[in-house]
Chain A
Amino acid sequence: MDARTVSALASLARWLTDPANWQGSHGIPVRILEHIELSGLSVLVAVAVAMPIALYFGHTGRGGFVAINVANIGRALPSLALLAFGLVIAISLGLGLGFWPTVFALVPLAIPPVLTNAYVAVREVDRDVVDAARGMGLSESQILRSIEVPLGLPLMLSGIRTAAVNVVATATLGALVAGGALGRFIVDGLALQEYDQLMAGALLVALLAIVTEVSFAALERATVPPGMVAIR
């Protein structure tokens, strides 16, 4: 490692171990909690919106074209553009800066992967199993609840995971519209040319994104129904 890398890492370590950066309303713990709160709420709203639509489309087999294309449109929406739209909406609704513009940007970002994966998850449940259940006299809502959702759960969770990792990453941009969360360190670090703060913020966000990814992956594995594990 060259001298510049060493000194950059040293100042990063100094910043991260400085007790002053761990206290108060601008401290690291508060920023992490803000980040989780912002991301968590956005993902929850997205799931609440997307899941009923996906389950209905998936169960009835209707609207497949829409469900698949939502994902492609979603990819074309740049996060910074969503933030711009979120800001315009939040201001015109009188909700101010910071938290709400960011939520408005993150929810549409999270909906496409949740919707598409949940739709595919339900569709991919073996139709023979569903027919057998129907033959045994299960009602449509029972089929959905006790057959399609449990069997499709790992795939649904994988959609929520994609959404969550995206949201955690993008929540960083909230700092641009005066929001809190970990993006604060990056945006302030860039503006003030304080590279220790900048790198610490970047490192913390990257870690949070990876932790999100890994925890959801573990959750996915844990929710595979016992019968499907046996088949694999």
Chain B
Amino acid sequence: MTPGEPLIRWDWLGSHAGEIGQRVGEHLELTLIAVVVGLAIAFVLSVLALRVPRLYPPITWTTGILYTIPSLALFALLVPYTGLSLLTAEIGLVSYTLLILIRNIVAGVRGVPAEVREAARGMGYTDRQILWRVELPLALAVIFAGIRVATITTIGLVTVTALIGQGGMGYFILLGIQLFFSTPLIVGALGSVMLAVLADGGLVLVQRALTPWTHAR
């Protein structure tokens, strides 16, 4: 970022291609673990909230507080306990997915028309069968909207975990800031945005494959 220095030094890109690939993999891994674990926890809490509606406000309130805590602050608070580790990063990342996922799962299931549920009951479905065969498939579009938002948000947040020694593309951003060198800065920033866009596109395709009835005309 000194005058005369180009914004991107292409030779740096070439000589660091291997490392960039490795960090992309790390970024995706951190994201995938967070979203999958987040989805599992959110699913359990959502089913709980659907069965016992009284529990829904405290669940959203708690996950809402977690969501409000700044990411850097949350990672920082965990460091004395779990160190500069993958676990620290994942605890933070998972916490941020919960509110979005729970809201969408609950809203999706509650949005299933009552007649459909009654019809399933009339056909002799048990509560469990109604959940798995009727409510969840019909709620899939709304749930997927939540997964998309959670994934994009997580991909962005992963960059912040560079400060606790993880980070994927965030590593390059931090490197760029420390060295005052714009090439890794731009590689990290653009790389993270591109990953978010690509992941979102990928999820749209997965959603279409899973819910063929939503676009069959």
State yes or no: do A and B come from one complex.
yes
If over half of B's interface residues share one DSSP class (helix, strand or loop), that class is named, otherwise mixed; here it is: helix
Q: Is the CB of A195 within 8 A of B193?
A: no
Smallest beta-carbon distance B160→chain A, Å = 6
Compute how far the CA of A80 lies from the CA of B185 in the bound complex, rounded to whole angstroms. 10
Contact with A along B136-161 (1 / 0, CB 8 A): 00000000000001001101111110
Residue A206 CB within 8 A of the other chain: yes
Residue B108 CB within 8 A of the other chain: no
Smallest beta-carbon distance B25→chain A, Å = 18
Q: Is the CB of A84 within 8 A of B173?
A: yes
**B164 / chain A contacts, CB cutoff of 8 Å:** 190
Chain A residues 169-207 with CB under 8 Å of chain B are 169-170, 172-173, 176-177, 183, 186-187, 189-190, 195, 198-199, 201-203, 205-206
Residue B200 CB within 8 A of the other chain: yes
- A87-B193 contact, Cβ under 8 Å, with A8-B80, A206-B73: no
- CB-based nearest B residue for A185: B76
**A87 / chain B contacts, CB cutoff of 8 Å:** 1, 177, 185
Residue B38 CB within 8 A of the other chain: no
Contact with A along B148-191 (1 / 0, CB 8 A): 01001101111110111000001001101100001001101110
Q: Is the CB of B159 within 8 A of A80?
A: yes
**B77 / chain A contacts, CB cutoff of 8 Å:** 199, 202-203, 206
Compute how far the CA of A8 lies from the CA of B79 in the bound complex, rounded to whole angstroms. 11
Chain A residues 84-121 with CB under 8 Å of chain B are 84-85, 87-88, 91-92
Compute how far the CA of A201 lies from the CA of B70 in the bound complex, rounded to whole angstroms. 11
**CB within 8 A of B73: which of A5, A82, A83, A172?**
A172
**CB within 8 A of A198: which of B1, B79, B162, B177?**
B79
Q: Is the CB of B73 within 8 A of A77?
A: no
User: Size class of B's contact patch?
Assistant: 35 or more
- A199-B159 contact, Cβ under 8 Å, with A80-B170, A88-B1, A206-B70: no
Residue A75 CB within 8 A of the other chain: yes
Smallest beta-carbon distance B201→chain A, Å = 11
**B189 / chain A contacts, CB cutoff of 8 Å:** 78, 80-82, 84-85
Residue A76 CB within 8 A of the other chain: yes
Smallest beta-carbon distance A195→chain B, Å = 5
**A91 / chain B contacts, CB cutoff of 8 Å:** 1
**A85 / chain B contacts, CB cutoff of 8 Å:** 189
Residue B74 CB within 8 A of the other chain: yes
Chain B residues 61-76 with CB under 8 Å of chain A are 65, 68-74, 76
**A5 / chain B contacts, CB cutoff of 8 Å:** 81
Q: Is the CB of B70 within 8 A of A199?
A: no
**B80 / chain A contacts, CB cutoff of 8 Å:** 4, 8, 195, 198-199
The 3 closest A-B pairs by CB, nearest first: A78-B156, A169-B70, A81-B189
Q: What are 7 sample pairs from A and B whose C-beta atoms fall under 8 A apart?
A: A78-B193, A84-B188, A88-B186, A169-B73, A170-B70, A176-B163, A206-B74
